[in-house]
Amino acid sequence: MDAFLAELGLYRKAIAKDGSCIFRAVSEKLFLTQAHHGKVKDTYLEHMSKHVDEYQSFVDEDLNIRLEGLDKGEIQPGLIEMAVLSRIYRLDFFVFHAPDQEPFNITQNNFSQEVYLCFVGGSQYDLVYSKSVLQTAALCQSVLYEILYRDVFQLDSELDEAVLFLELQKELPRNNNLRDTLDRVRDAIRRKRPGLFRRGVVLQHDNATTHSTNLTQRWLQCYGCEVLPHLAHSPYPTPSDFHLFGHLNCHFGGVAFENEDDLVGELKKWFPLLDLDFFRVGIYSLLSH
């Protein structure tokens, strides 16, 4: 399915598998962040509680029991939720079900706002976006993180070291023997940043299988490099992306910047306006993941 979407200039954005994918999709469409999926769900449940008789014919089961299960997270949202949310928020749902097939218009209400989803099995749906959205988000993210690291957290040297490491990774052949690759990394650091090499190098090796991670760590330790603890990889999207970038998108409201300097300038104006609680909420949201 991903290859088929790529041919159409689209990509699939994974949504957390926590029984709220439809509500998260609507939240991101309306508010440019999934952080408000709980509010979307509450609005849906409140609306349904007032119109049980109207929607009972939509399902075979007792609708009150279904609503109770949704409220407790015991039931996954599905087609009826799409139909009702379409009416509440005036948007249409289009779903890709299989490769080489056009997306099916589930709601067919002819609303101007559209949500594109990809069915991935069970009751799970992921969002579908154009690749141009991904490219724009990547640019904004790189600029935003540079401002955060340099101007907010004052991590100039650490940022330079991280960029250097990424540049070194690009220079190295991907299919080399592990030890040869690490030799090249060590030699390149010694050549390009001798001061960094003498102070000691701290690396994080993540998103790898257990055996390759352990092997890599052993060789790095042989070279005198400090290795940060390897954390288990999480398949869920980063909550900070939803919290920070969603609010950022709302603030800019679709403004098109002519150059990077203009974007950086606006970001520097925006951060001082934020209350400390804004960052605290974003940090605590990571704890649930």
- pTM higher than 0.85: no
Share of the chain above pLDDT 90, in %: 36
Q: What is the pLDDT of residue 210?
A: 44
Q: What is the pLDDT of residue 58?
A: 86
Residue 118 backbone phi and psi in degrees, to 5: -125, 125
Tokens of 232: 């288990």
CA distance 30 to 180: 50
Q: What is the pLDDT of residue 7?
A: 92
| CATH of 2-130 among 3.90.550.10, 3.90.70.80, 3.40.50.720, 3.40.50.620 | 3.90.70.80
Question: In the chain, helix, strand, coil percent, each to 5?
Answer: 60, 10, 30
Residue 237 backbone phi and psi in degrees, to 5: -65, 155
Of the two residues 140 and 230, the one the predictor is more confident about is: 140
What type of residue is 86? S
Q: What is the pLDDT of residue 259?
A: 73
* pLDDT band with cut points at 50, 70 and 90 for residue 206: very low
Ranking 16-25, 39-48, 261-270, 278-287 by mean pLDDT, the lowest is: 278-287
Q: What is the pLDDT of residue 175?
A: 42
Q: What is the pLDDT of residues 156-180, one digit of tens each?
A: 665 666 655 555 555 544 444 566 7
CA 267 from centroid of its chain's CA atoms: 20
Give the residue extent of every domain in the chain: 2-130
Q: What is the pLDDT of residues 70-85, one digit of tens each?
A: 998 888 899 999 999 9
Q: What is the pLDDT of residue 82?
A: 96
Of the two residues 261 and 178, the one the predictor is more confident about is: 261
| Distinct helix (H) and strand (E) counts, the chain | 15, 7
3-8: average pLDDT: 93
Of the two residues 28 and 145, the one the predictor is more confident about is: 28
